[in-house]
Structure 1
């Protein structure tokens, strides 16, 4: 049964000409926000609500300051809109690399999860890395 499932997943990935992503497997993607190798917090999306919360490590340390948009360390923040801190990680569609991707994957134009996964790892705006937590 497991072999059949793996074969099916591989066939679906080939059919789309893209590897399977966490988003395709899990409908509630979770990103990790890191500073160097330290996990600062988690960004989740359930299909309609974005949520962000700090890691236990970050909540219990005093060296790094809280992010401006998320000042309370032990709060779970929720919003129907992606916060500017994360939204700014998605490059402008005017950039050739982004335009090329969207031309070949037009259905991803408004898929912020996919765009964050592909292009939001680093930002010129801050030293944090955003990676999909698989």
Structure 2
């Protein structure tokens, strides 16, 4: 990712203002889903496809059950749509904090990666934390 960013910067070196977007810098964001400090799994987005896979730690333990939407520990889950388990972490458009953010960042309205990064860390629906793995 760093090589891609450097290449992009070099290609834009003659421009005064570099029009870098979040997606150009972070072309394959990887989120970590954690329970306490243990990594449950990884959520990726490549710009068109979401994927989720459980961590080795989670696969090897027997205390925690797999998530309802991801019942098989050894499967790589792939979807063009973000799963409801993760989608529910993004606040409703009616929420004041999201409205306020979108007023100053209207281009992020449909940027689920950015909205997850900013608002999806915790959820009232489950005890897991979702963090961007940079």
Scaled to the shorter chain, the TM-score interval is: 0.7 to 0.9
Which stretches of structure 1, 4 residues or more, deviate above 6 A after TM superposition? Answer: none
Say yes or no: does 1:106 pair with 2:106.
Answer: yes
Deviation for aligned residue 1:26: 2.4
Q: CA–CA distance in 2 between the matches of 1:84 and 1:95?
A: 18
Which aligned pairs between 1:108-123 and structure 2 lie closer than 5 A? 108-123=108-123
CA offset digits 1:14-59 (Å, max 9, x no partner)? x79xxx96x5522000000000000000000000000000000100
SS at match of 1:57: helix
Report the TM-score, using the length of structure 2 for normalisation: 0.83
Residue aligning to 2:82: 82
Deviation for aligned residue 1:93: 1.0
Q: CA–CA distance in 2 between the matches of 1:118 and 1:24?
A: 18
Q: CA–CA distance in 1 between the matches of 2:119 and 2:24?
A: 17
* 5+ long unaligned stretches in structure 2: 1-5, 10-16
Please report the RMSD computed on the Cα atoms of aligned residues, expressed in angstroms: 1.7
SS at match of 1:74: coil
Report the TM-score, using the length of structure 1 for normalisation: 0.83
Count residues in correspondence.
Answer: 118
Which aligned pairs between 1:17-56 and structure 2 lie closer than 5 A? 23-56=23-56
CA offset digits 1:56-80 (Å, max 9, x no partner)? 0100110000000000001000000
Q: CA–CA distance in 1 between the matches of 2:24 and 2:48?
A: 16
Q: CA–CA distance in 2 between the matches of 1:81 and 1:90?
A: 14
SS at match of 2:53: strand
Q: CA–CA distance in 1 between the matches of 2:57 and 2:28?
A: 23
Q: CA–CA distance in 1 between the matches of 2:82 and 2:27?
A: 17
